[in-house]
Amino acid sequence: MPLVSVSLVVGELYKRYRSGDISMEQFKSMSASATGIKFAKFTALLVGLSIPGVNVVVGAGMVARWSTRYPSIWRDAGDPWKDQLSESNIRLSMLISAGYCERTAIRRPVRR
């Protein structure tokens, strides 16, 4: 995971170097610092998730951070049950849960 992240950052920096936005020295120093920062973050995350008890707090913090940073994930998801809760599906679910056979509407024997 950190390798992919670092390669994306270094790739973007290389594009900036090729276009002339940054010099070779800036490219080298920015690439080195980005690599160090990414690996430090990954190491801290790995250590935090490997300690029992702390891993729950770290995981909850990650979910909270992602949900506040990217609220469109929740907003764009919509209602997952909207299409599945049509009136006919509700009636069918009620029949099945009441013990009626779906095709013949004959009551199935209840096994205890």
Q: pLDDT tens digits, residue range 31-71?
A: 999 999 989 988 988 888 888 888 898 888 888 887 787 76
pTM above 0.85, yes or no: no
The answer to whether 16 touches 22, Cβ cutoff 8 Å, is yes
Joined together, the tokens standing for residue 70 give 């990217």
Alpha helices in 51-112, H assignment, sequence order: 54-69, 72-77, 87-97
